Amino acid sequence: MTTCPAILVAAPASGQGKTTVVSALARLHARQGRRVRVFKCGPDFLDPYWHALASGAPVYQLDLWINGEADCRARLAAAAADADLIIVEGVMGLFDGTPSAADLAQRFGLPVLAVIDAGSMAGTFGALAFGLQNYRPNLPWAGVLANRVASERHALMLKSSVRDPDQWLGAVMRNTALQLPERHLGLTVASEVGDALERLDAAADALEATPLGQMTLQDLQRWQVEFTGAEVPQPAAPAVKPLQGQTIAVARDAAFCFIYAANLDCLSDLGAELVFFSPLADAALPDCDALWIPGGYPELHAQTIAANTALRDSLAAHIAAGKPVWAECGGMMALFDTLITSDGQQFAQWGLLPGTVTMHKRLAALGPQQLKLASGTLRGHTFHYSTTETTLQPVARTARPDTDPLPDAGEALWQLGSVRASYFHAWFASCPEATVELFSRPAPVMEHQP
């Protein structure tokens, strides 16, 4: 059993400033020489880029369904063994989703810090804080922080509305300089923002003026949590790792950046050697036995992707040699013939799968999904703004956690030659056997004749 101060930062809804507060708190303590570990509740690719920059440590996702409780427990316990503070960012509103951030907090005894955008309220602030704390019995509670506050007088009004003065953790004033930049899928990746660290320092400075920001290491002990990851049974390491001797090339750049750190760990644990390349900048694939093209923003780089015909030819040669390709969401989009942006521009893509991808201004799909393969079922999620028209017929479809697969439900899994592609984002550690299957040569399927 290991103990460590830990909090889960939640909010009544999305857009309240959770990510900024979490990143500011992590940056503040990291600047003071403390070891901070940050986790993100739910299958989010973007917020962890900011958390990792702020904390200086890898960031992993925690989801009671996608990861499973044992995986979440083990990751928290491992972090607690060498951290001074653990911060978990919630997802959406505190009680939104199944499982929710509140479920995670209760399962592991994580005190909840509620961040509330108080810009348009006064006395109601206290009522909202009280409701979040007491809506569910026995929810661990740390306190409440007011965000985007107009003035010191406004802050006093908010503070006076909180029933228990000890739960008031301060007010962060409204300041557009503290906002992290966004685009259609969420926050802009931190590595693409030239002044990202300066923004985090400014946010940390603002937080430092609050009671939350002034807490010392001794003060943090009030949020001490016991983690029991040692008792979680771990599967025995196989004598021969199934991907031993295999080199997997991973696309990684501004267009293909939706990569779970846990997925890279899983591939390495299975014995694979990982090499990285940029489809935007490189003219050829590195020497490899299999290829993973993760999701990202091909729609923002469609012209550059179209112009890199040398990389396209290298991909075609890889596929012609029968070497496996697993393409997720944005990685899949670039494999089709054409991409149409939301404003109607058309760009030729790699043309390795027949069909057209069209971007929309609204979400096309969102939520947890599972993909059943011959060797097991992978868990993951879907989140995309595009739709696809193709003559290919799905070889399988994903399903939601609470339903049986239906003929026209879930995300399609398309296969052409050695390529498997889907909008589905897989969490590899949920089924290592199925992950090995993804990076092995698929059995041939009957090609659809249009």
How many Å apart are CA 50 and CA 158, to the nearest integer? 29
Q: Name residue 119's amino acid.
A: G
pLDDT tier for residue 448 given thresholds of 50, 70 and 90: very low
Could you list the active site residues?
329
Of 100, 71, 396, the closest CA to residue 266 belongs to 71
Region of poorest pLDDT, from 58-67, 78-87, 227-236, 413-422: 227-236
How many Å apart are CA 349 and CA 346, to the nearest integer? 9
Tell me how far CA of residue 396 lies from CA of 149, 413, 421, in angstroms: 50, 5, 11
352, two tokens: 């390795």
322, two tokens: 């029968």
Give pLDDT tens digits for 1-19: 899 999 999 999 999 999 9
State yes or no: pLDDT of 232 exceeds 50. Answer: no
Of 365, 368, 366, 363, the closest CA to residue 427 belongs to 368
Helix, strand, coil shares, percent, the chain, to 5:
30, 30, 40
Give pLDDT tens digits for 324-376: 999 999 999 999 999 999 889 999 999 999 999 999 988 888 899 999 999 99
Of 112, 53, 55, 116, the closest CA to residue 85 belongs to 55
Q: For a pLDDT cut of 90, what percent of the chain falls above it?
A: 82
Region of poorest pLDDT, from 174-188, 239-253, 368-382: 174-188
Residues 252-262 have a mean pLDDT of 95
- Structural domains in the chain plus CATH codes: 2-231 (3.40.50.300), 247-438 (3.40.50.880)
Assess whether the previous peptide bond of 99 is cis (omega < 30° from 0): yes
HSE of 36 in the Cβ direction (CA atoms, 13 Å)? 25
Give the bridge partners for 6, in sequence order. Answer: 86
Q: Which is higher by pLDDT, 182 or 118?
A: 118
